[in-house]
Structure 1
Amino acid sequence: MPTKTRIKDYPKWVVTAMWVSALLIAVGSYRFLIADIALVMPAMLHHALERPLMFYLHIGLAPIALALLPLQFSNGLRKARPAVHRWLGRLYGAAILLAGVSGLWLAYTTEEGPVAAVGLGLLSVFWLWTTGVAIRHAMARRIAQHRVWMIRSAALTLAAVTLRIYLPIGAVTVGFEASYPIICWLAWVPNLVLAEWILRRGRGAPMGATA
């Protein structure tokens, strides 16, 4: 089983940049509340028009899971307020359950082609699976296993961040239509590979944990 690690094992700027990015993306995802979907999410307009329930479940709840990550990986909160950590974990799991199921449906009905559909569909499946296993271990008080699976879940939740890094790069290089199907894989596969690399190197505790 992977051992715990200390936050000093990771560059502080990397941890800070990751959590700040997660919070900014989470907040920015609610721009649809003050602007027309056609303006702020044109590629998703067909979902908003044809399947609004699934669409708004996904874009409304996925940012909640993203925003909760820094709190759930906070060593201070986990030690000082374990009950808060558990309740936020339940909220994180519920948000991913609904966002993942709706994301799977949006992937199935996407108009961006089969490559994008399979990429997004597998992301939803693995997101639901890793989070479900993490919660199951937490309920059984298998804390070490819970932390390992939460790292995998977090890697997939952070696909929301990497997606937004790749989208403008793809748009200004080969264009949205050509790049989007590949980005639907790039947004999460490298994240999960990196998580597995960290775990296999024995860094199985959340960032912020101490030995």
Structure 2
Amino acid sequence: MIMVYVSRFRVFLVWVLCFGVALASWRFMVLGVEASMEFVAYHAIERRLAFFAHITLAPVALMLMPFQFWTGLRARRPQVHRWIGRAYGVSILLAGVGGLLMAAGTTAGPVAAWGFGALAALWLGSTGYGIWLALQGRIAEHQRWMIRSAALTFAAVTLRLYLPLLFATLGEETGYTLVSWLCWVPNVAVAEWYLRRPLRRSVALAA
């Protein structure tokens, strides 16, 4: 019984974090870019389309992501699941390309550029491949790749959890460089551990 409550709390926490961070990310609509995102506001001038595609649509993907793992919705309303998946994929396509362009033009240095660039490329690749697998009817493989996609989408949350601590302890320059990798590499590692557990391997073989 305790494990059931723990599991439900984890699910609840993911929903709260995804929606909370997504809504907080749209604060620029009220406060403006300069006031709310001073550290990256230069992107709004140098690569305006890429910047606004990323900061507007990445939160959409983050809010939609938990719905894709809602088993009841997927079972009872598969068509809704598919339409949410399409919206999730399009949001990541546009936000991911925007993220790639921003990474290429960052002033934070090559380590941060490669970190955020790798995140954007893997985000696009894992999501695109996962959707392609669904179109091929390879649902078990599709589910595995969408878990990887979700781990990368969740980088929006982990970045905001780590960044205040890193800024306070290491300073803005070093903290921002470190978070460009720290926000997503552990997420991917946890996802791979989850996917490679012996129990999941035996279930997959049985299927």
User: What range is the shorter-chain TM-score in?
Assistant: over 0.9
Deviation per CA, 1:59-87: give whole Å up to 9, x if none: 01100000001111101111111101001
Higher helix share: 2
Q: Which runs of 5+ in 1 are unaligned?
A: 1-6, 205-211
Q: Which residue of 2 aligns with 1:100?
A: 96
Counterpart Cα distance in 1 of 2:198 and 2:95: 31
Matched, 1:33 2:29: yes
Q: Which runs of 5+ in 2 are unaligned?
A: 201-207
Helix, strand or coil for the counterpart of 1:11?
helix
Greater RCO (Cα-Cα under 8 Å, separation 6 or more):
1
What is the Cα deviation at residue 8 of structure 1?
4.6
Deviation per CA, 1:33-69: give whole Å up to 9, x if none: 0002111101111101111111000001100000001
Deviation per CA, 1:118-163: give whole Å up to 9, x if none: 0000000100110011101111111110110010000000000000
Matching residue within 71, 76, 93 for 1:75: 71
Using the size of structure 1 for normalisation, the TM-score is 0.90
- Taking only the aligned residue pairs, the percentage that are identical comes to 51
Aligned length: 200
Counterpart Cα distance in 2 of 1:203 and 1:110: 42
Deviation per CA, 1:90-141: give whole Å up to 9, x if none: 1100110111111000000001000000000000010011001110111111
* Structure 1 consecutive aligned stretches of length 4 or more whose deviation exceeds 3 Å: 7-10
Task: Give matches, 1:174-193, under 5 Å.
Answer: 174-193=170-189
What is the Cα deviation at residue 9 of structure 1?
10
CA RMSD of aligned residues (A): 1.9
Q: Which residue of 1 aligns with 2:12?
A: 16
Counterpart Cα distance in 1 of 2:141 and 2:198: 13
Matched, 1:165 2:143: no
Using the size of structure 2 for normalisation, the TM-score is 0.92
Deviation per CA, 1:1-27: give whole Å up to 9, x if none: xxxxxx959732222212210111111
Q: Which residue of 1 aligns with 2:205?
A: none
